[in-house]
Amino acid sequence: MLQINQMFSVQLSLGEQTWESEGSSIKKAQQAVANKALTESTLPKPVQKPPKSNVNNNPGSITPTVELNGLAMKRGEPAIYRPLDPKPFPNYRANYNFRGMYNQR
Protein backbone atom coordinates (compact mmCIF):
# COMPACT_ATOMS: atom_id res chain seq x y z
CA MET A 1 0.00 0.00 0.00
CA LEU A 2 1.38 3.39 -0.99
CA GLN A 3 1.44 5.86 1.87
CA ILE A 4 1.76 9.54 1.04
CA ASN A 5 3.02 11.88 3.75
CA GLN A 6 0.72 14.86 3.78
CA MET A 7 2.33 18.28 4.11
CA PHE A 8 0.47 21.30 5.46
CA SER A 9 1.21 24.81 4.19
CA VAL A 10 0.57 27.90 6.30
CA GLN A 11 0.80 31.60 5.55
CA LEU A 12 1.46 34.11 8.34
CA SER A 13 0.62 37.79 8.05
CA LEU A 14 1.92 40.32 10.54
CA GLY A 15 1.33 43.93 9.58
CA GLU A 16 2.39 44.33 5.95
CA GLN A 17 4.72 41.31 5.99
CA THR A 18 3.81 37.72 5.05
CA TRP A 19 5.65 34.41 5.22
CA GLU A 20 4.85 30.85 4.15
CA SER A 21 6.10 27.51 5.40
CA GLU A 22 5.24 23.80 5.46
CA GLY A 23 5.15 21.05 8.05
CA SER A 24 3.91 17.52 8.58
CA SER A 25 1.10 18.93 10.77
CA ILE A 26 -0.66 22.29 11.02
CA LYS A 27 1.07 22.96 14.35
CA LYS A 28 4.52 22.19 12.92
CA ALA A 29 3.80 24.38 9.89
CA GLN A 30 2.69 27.24 12.17
CA GLN A 31 5.84 26.90 14.29
CA ALA A 32 8.03 26.82 11.18
CA VAL A 33 6.44 29.94 9.71
CA ALA A 34 6.61 31.75 13.08
CA ASN A 35 10.30 30.87 13.38
CA LYS A 36 10.87 32.15 9.83
CA ALA A 37 9.05 35.39 10.67
CA LEU A 38 11.07 35.90 13.86
CA THR A 39 14.29 35.41 11.89
CA GLU A 40 13.40 37.52 8.83
CA SER A 41 11.14 40.20 10.29
CA THR A 42 12.25 43.82 10.28
CA LEU A 43 10.07 44.46 13.32
CA PRO A 44 11.83 45.15 16.64
CA LYS A 45 12.29 42.04 18.77
CA PRO A 46 10.63 41.86 22.19
CA VAL A 47 12.84 42.27 25.24
CA GLN A 48 13.43 38.92 26.92
CA LYS A 49 12.26 38.82 30.52
CA PRO A 50 14.33 36.92 33.06
CA PRO A 51 12.77 33.50 33.77
CA LYS A 52 10.60 33.16 36.86
CA SER A 53 11.77 30.84 39.59
CA ASN A 54 9.55 27.86 39.04
CA VAL A 55 10.16 24.17 39.56
CA ASN A 56 8.47 23.39 36.24
CA ASN A 57 10.34 26.13 34.36
CA ASN A 58 12.00 24.69 31.28
CA PRO A 59 14.30 27.13 29.47
CA GLY A 60 13.83 26.96 25.75
CA SER A 61 10.26 25.71 26.12
CA ILE A 62 8.82 28.81 24.44
CA THR A 63 7.81 27.82 20.93
CA PRO A 64 8.24 30.20 17.98
CA THR A 65 4.46 30.64 17.75
CA VAL A 66 4.26 31.76 21.40
CA GLU A 67 7.18 34.16 20.91
CA LEU A 68 5.76 35.60 17.69
CA ASN A 69 2.26 35.96 19.14
CA GLY A 70 3.79 37.85 22.09
CA LEU A 71 5.56 40.20 19.67
CA ALA A 72 2.35 40.75 17.73
CA MET A 73 0.36 41.41 20.92
CA LYS A 74 2.91 44.01 22.09
CA ARG A 75 2.60 45.73 18.71
CA GLY A 76 -1.20 45.64 18.91
CA GLU A 77 -1.40 43.66 15.65
CA PRO A 78 -2.82 40.18 15.22
CA ALA A 79 -0.60 37.39 13.88
CA ILE A 80 -2.87 35.75 11.32
CA TYR A 81 -2.17 32.14 10.38
CA ARG A 82 -3.97 30.87 7.28
CA PRO A 83 -3.84 27.28 6.03
CA LEU A 84 -2.96 27.22 2.33
CA ASP A 85 -4.35 24.84 -0.26
CA PRO A 86 -2.40 21.58 -0.36
CA LYS A 87 0.13 21.28 -3.13
CA PRO A 88 -0.72 18.68 -5.76
CA PHE A 89 0.95 15.32 -5.34
CA PRO A 90 3.01 13.87 -8.18
CA ASN A 91 0.95 11.54 -10.34
CA TYR A 92 1.73 8.08 -9.03
CA ARG A 93 0.09 5.40 -11.14
CA ALA A 94 -0.05 1.93 -9.74
CA ASN A 95 0.14 -0.93 -12.21
CA TYR A 96 -2.80 -3.20 -11.52
CA ASN A 97 -2.39 -5.24 -14.73
CA PHE A 98 0.03 -7.79 -13.39
CA ARG A 99 -0.36 -11.47 -12.68
CA GLY A 100 1.09 -12.54 -9.39
CA MET A 101 2.22 -16.06 -8.72
CA TYR A 102 -1.32 -16.99 -7.50
CA ASN A 103 -3.07 -15.50 -10.58
CA GLN A 104 -1.28 -17.55 -13.21
CA ARG A 105 -3.39 -19.32 -15.80
Question: Chain centroid to CA 63: how far?
Answer: 12
Q: What is the pLDDT of residue 27?
A: 92
Q: What is the pLDDT of residue 20?
A: 94
Domain ranges of the chain: 28-45+63-86
Q: What is the full per-residue pLDDT of the chain (105 aa) written as tens digits?
A: 555 678 899 999 988 889 999 999 999 999 999 999 988 988 777 666 665 554 455 556 788 888 888 888 888 888 888 888 876 666 555 555 555 555 544
Q: What is the pLDDT of residue 25?
A: 92
The pTM (predicted TM-score) of the whole model is 0.55
Does residue 11 contact residue 40 with C-beta atoms inside 8 Å? no
Strand segments, DSSP code E, in the chain are 8-14, 17-23, 80-83
Distances (CA, A) of 33 to 22, 24, 59, 90, 94: 8, 13, 21, 24, 35
